[in-house]
Structure 1
Amino acid sequence: MRAPSYTAVWTFRSLSLPEWDSKGRALCSVHIVLDWDGTLTVKDTMALLGGLPRARDLRLYNQRLHRPESEPPSHLRGEAEVNSIVDLTPPASVNLWDGFVAAYMEDYRAHKALHYPVTPKESPREERASPDQYSRWLESLKVVEYASAERVTRSRFFRGVRTEDVANVARDALDSGALQLREDWNCLFDMSVSQAGDQQAPLISKISIISVNWSECFIRWSLYLAAERLTNISPASKAALLGRIDNMKISSNEIHGLDSPQGSSGKLTGNVRTAREKAERLPEFSNQSEAAAAKQQHREAAFVVYVGDSGTDYECFRGADLPIWISDQGEEENRRVRRFEAVFRPLNTGNESGGFKSCHLKEWAELTDRGDGDWCAWADDLKEVADWLKSVS
């Protein structure tokens, strides 16, 4: 299959910071958009979804143990139970999931052999692709991503899974440490909620998530349960945070039918699986033409800050007013540079024309000699992002 003839159309609408009034209020709304895996979380969480069949089986097993002698007719019981899915053993679930991962990697390697935009070299520094080449490479991976989702759908791996199973998996993962949100993850969320007695509007007008994860439900439950466990905030602040999580916009994929009495059909739904599809979910007025429309209607376009960590965030970086890459590398500059090149390989990350370069978030406002390349700011963690926003307000 030939790579799609896609040319990136996302460009920076503005490289300047929003203006603030004398009382510290932004003269235009500030919208924070976050990636999920590796940005809000310490590491990828997709593997945790492989435990959903086990959670479903345990739930159905417990229901069977406590069912009264006079059972309801089969049409009133869950489809998964009626079809004896409870006999599925945990090892079978694990083996199926491992098979999905292996098949995905096989597809990826075969696709890369045909579509990689440059000839692979021994040294990453020798692999150079232009921004347009890199965008086409990322979009060409669409066939791999959708094949993986279709493979899982056909297997009916998630058949019978319900919302409560998703919540239980998230809860267990938080208990065990398999799911870890970044330290001080709630700092940005707190800045989007009006504090008690504060007459000013919150610094961040809106906060949302865009993710290629397979389950929006899993993301929301993970945040909600993590927020419930916070002990360093007041009850009022926690209630406000929980309300924000409950109502925030999360653009992701989903496991179909989690709220059905019979549980999921097993189908994976949604079309947020590539870098371009993520960028298409950026907030309203996130590109130049829409900003112009807002100006004509005498409205201020939102200042969009996008925070991400991986190559799938690249198009969102190009479409945001302020792109922030979570480097997670402490003070080791050389290590950070090497990781930046590895994450966006084979994109040209040098100083050549058209490169994609980074600077520390604290230096962003003073960055005047940008040349004709794309830039993104970097920060070590989310607290650094929150502290910086406070400092410029």
Structure 2
Amino acid sequence: MVTGIIIFDFDGTITTVDTINTLASLPTSHHPSEKTKRHEKLWEEIVEGYVADHTEHTKGYAPDAESRRTLEQELGYLESLRVPEGASIQKVSQGSLFAGLKEEDFRGFGERIVDDGTGDHAQGGERVRLRKGFGEFVEKCGKQGWEIGVVSVNWSRDFIKGVIAKKCAGQEVRVVANGIRHPEGRIEGPEELGGEVMMTAGDKLRGMELLSREGDEKKKVVYFGDSTTDLACLVEAELGVVVADEEEGKLLVTSRRIGFGVPHVGEYREAKDGKRQGMVWARDFEEVMESRVVEGLQR
């Protein structure tokens, strides 16, 4: 019997940091040396353009951050980021950064690049590190009857599948994220969501709703996320777990600003009226397991 579904964000939640720069390094290992500099220059231009567009957009957005005091206001701002995000994705697609790469290339790269703590690595260079306790947590939840899913605005669901493959071996994991179309290298959204590229908090919420429904039935959801693009999902889930290295992390600060108290998972408790706290935070999955917060939802 399925208890419900546990859904993870990928970058900064399953992994310790964002992996976009690592993913962007894949083309240089698949192209002749004379093309390497062109790809590196293109990526540099894309990053610089994105930072400039994002900064300009945020500077001109009203109300500004300090004036946004409600969830509705914050989600409105997050949805407006579709403008700079979309411009960046268009540049990646038009620049053919990932042209010629197949699904198996992204998956294999993810498998090789991950640092799972065993020291068994086949490829040098930058590593993608998994957050402490992830594999053990997934295994434990699977045995307890939970389904497992991933919702991400990362550009390659196959890269995600490769990164988590070893730690999720034996556990079916449904990934709702973007893909990179072969051979042109165009970024496209998941078929389940009509092919629209996932970019915003609202897109992630649609992904969560897709995974949490089975016919007319809605599954119980535990959602893990680390960034403001996870805000809508964290609020809507039965339990939202903010993953943060410290109490002053950006998402926790934002949550408090708009009126959400988010205690540490070690302080999790049931309220007097029987309702459980909607959001908590944890540094890693070991802290979550120690708290037994997920087991509490099975009662």
Q: Tell me the SS of whatever aligns to 2:163.
A: helix
**2:243, 2:28 → 1: CA distance?**
33
> TM (normalized to structure 1)?
0.64
Q: What amino acid sits opposite 1:382 in the alignment? A: F
Larger mean Cα displacement after TM superposition, 379-388 or 100-109: 379-388
Secondary structure at 1:243 match in 2: coil
Match runs of 1:66-215 below 5 Å? 86=32, 88-118=34-64, 127-170=67-110, 171-172=112-113, 174=115, 175=121, 176=125, 178-193=127-142, 202-215=143-156
Task: Please list the CA deviations of residues 188-224 of structure 1 after superposition, one character each: whole Å capped at 9, or x if unmatched.
Answer: 221244xxxxxxxx31420100001000000001112
Q: Distance in 1 between matches of 2:211 and 2:128?
A: 34
Give the C-alpha shift of residue 110 in structure 1: 1.5
Task: Tell whether the 8 Å contact from 2:113 to 2:163 is kept in structure 1 after alignment.
Answer: no
Aligned residue in 1 for 2:192:
none
Equivalent runs, 1:1-393 vs 2, <5 Å: 29-57=3-31, 86=32, 88-118=34-64, 127-170=67-110, 171-172=112-113, 174=115, 175=121, 176=125, 178-193=127-142, 202-224=143-165, 226-227=166-167, 241-244=168-171, 247-257=172-182, 264-270=183-189, 271-283=197-209, 294=217, 301-329=218-246, 336=247, 338-339=248-249, 342-343=250-251, 347=254, 349=256, 355-368=259-272, 375-387=278-290, 388-389=292-293, 392=296
Q: Structure 2 vs 1, CA of residues 47 and 364 (structure 1 numbering), >3 Å: closer, same or farther? A: same
The alpha carbon displacement at 1:115 in A equals 1.4
The SS at the match of 1:33 is: strand
- What secondary structure does 1:281 align onto? helix
In 2: Cα distance, 1:32 partner to 1:243 partner: 16
1 or 2, which has the higher strand percentage?
2
Residue aligned with 2:268, SS: helix
1:369/1:134 Cα in 2 relative to 1: closer, same or farther (>3 Å)? farther
Cα distance, 1:116–1:38 mapped onto 2, change above 3 Å: farther
Contact kept in structure 2, 1:251 and 1:281, CA below 8 Å: yes
* CA apart distance, 1:156: 1.1
Task: Please list the CA deviations of residues 43-91 of structure 1 after superposition, one character each: whole Å capped at 9, or x if unmatched.
Answer: 110111212221222xxxxxxxxxxxxxxxxxxxxxxxxxxxx364322
The 2-side partners of 1:152 and 1:390 are apart by 39
Q: Does structure 2 retain, via aligned residues, the 8 Å contact 1:32–1:204?
A: no
Preserved contact between residue 48 and residue 173 of structure 1 (Cα < 8 Å): no
Q: Which runs of 5+ in 1 are unaligned?
A: 1-25, 58-85, 121-125, 194-201, 228-240, 258-263, 295-300, 330-335
Code of the residue aligned with 1:252 in structure 2: it is A
Instruction: State, as a whole percentage, how many aligned pairs show the same letter.
Output: 28
Aligned-partner residue type, residue 4 of structure 2: V
Aligned partners of 1:349, 1:369: CA distance in 2, in Å? 23
- Whole-angstrom CA distance in 2 between matches of 1:30 and 1:190: 15
Mapped partners of 1:275, 1:389: distance in 2: 25
CA RMSD of aligned residues (A): 2.8
* 3-state DSSP of counterpart to 2:6: strand
Counterpart CA distance in 1 for 2:3 and 2:266 is: 21
TM-score by length of 2: 0.82
- Once the two structures are overlaid, the 10-residue window that deviates more, 361-370 or 130-139, is 361-370
Q: What is the rounded CA distance, in whole Å, between the counterparts of 2:273 and 2:283 in structure 1?
A: 24
Q: 1-side partners of 2:174 and 2:219: how far apart?
A: 16
User: What's the offset of the Cα at 1:390?
Assistant: 6.6
Larger radius of gyration: 1
State the one-letter code of the partner of 2:173. Answer: M
The answer as to whether partners of 2:107 and 2:160 remain within 8 angstroms in 1 is no
**What residue identity is the alignment partner of 2:128?**
L
